[in-house]
Amino acid sequence: MNKKLTSIVVAGAFMALGAQTAFAAPDWSKVPKSNIHVFHPGAAPIEWVTGKGDHSGASGLKKGETCAGCHVEDGKLSLDLKRLASKEMEPKGAPKTMTYPVAVQAAYDATNLYVRMTFKAPGGGFDHSDKTNEVKASVMFPDGKVTMGDQVGCWAACHKDARTMPGADDKKTKYATPGAMDIMQWRSGDGGKAVDGIVTDKRNMEGGKAGVAAEGAKAGDTYTVTFTRKLAGGVTLAAGKAVPFGIAIHADGAGGRFHHVSFGHTIGLGAEGDVKATKQ
């Protein structure tokens, strides 16, 4: 197998922990995998998701139900992909691959959470506006103040007036108010880069406090991206709890909303979750 190491990046935030600090990488061969399917959401913002008459699940959300509870059955997506690919939902142009699986693994110790994602990034996208990065892989963690953050995942930060939405302000980014969402991202371009960001009243792709580190490798047509972040940093994570999270992958040089996303899921740190983290 022709294995090409795309990048190994350590975010500068770890410097604050001291040069003598060592991070023991998990033995991933002993960590179980959970397949989470991502899909192209089209131009469907949170206003559409919660809008009466637009989305049949809106009433369920108001009762406290989750998107995944309705649209994930036995680990597989239950979605009207033809509708998502239609001009109604995607006026610009849908990708050839509307959905694909991402194998997610997680581990934790007294200080850090480790998340590993393995996937085949598809080609055939409509948008190729990111000329630097073939792939960007992101994970977002909402705090308890984000409206419906534990129900709708990344949609809590996706609004109809954000850039790349039809007719929206090209300068307005994703936002989540009240509350905050940590975002950690790995970018494949320029030798690879880790991003430690935060989403509040706007999206900031720097200035996060989670101490994010990331590494990415590509073997054949398969990417493996591994993140490390502090438990007590930014949105605080804790053992014994299920942590809400969502993932997004921009493939084939896609930018803006032309990504594939997951519904909101949970990582169980010594607790039940869609992804069960192994204690180190």
Indicate whether 19 pLDDT > 90: no
pLDDT in tens, 226-280: 999 999 999 999 999 999 999 999 999 999 999 999 999 999 999 999 999 999 9
Q: Is the pLDDT of residue 9 over 50?
A: no
Instruction: State the chain's mean pLDDT as an integer.
Output: 92
Q: Is 6's pLDDT higher than 80?
A: no
Question: Is-above-0.95 flag for pTM?
Answer: no
Q: What angle do CA 113, 119, 233 make, to 5 degrees?
A: 20
Per-residue pLDDT of 40-98, as tens digits, reads 999 999 999 999 888 999 999 999 999 999 999 999 999 999 999 999 999 999 999 99
* DSSP-assigned letters across all residues of 85-105: TSTTT-SS---S--EEEEEEE
In the chain, domain spans? 3-17+34-279
pLDDT value of residue 25:
85
Average pLDDT, integer, range 136-140: 98
pLDDT at 2: 44
Determine the CATH number of domain 3-17+34-279. 2.60.40
- Contact criterion met (CB below 8 Å) for 257 and 156: no
Q: Quick one: pLDDT at residue 134? A: 97
pLDDT beyond 80 at 20: no
R_g of the chain computed on alpha carbons: 18
Nearest alpha-carbon partner for 146 in 161, 162, 159, 133:
159
pLDDT of the residue at 24: 76
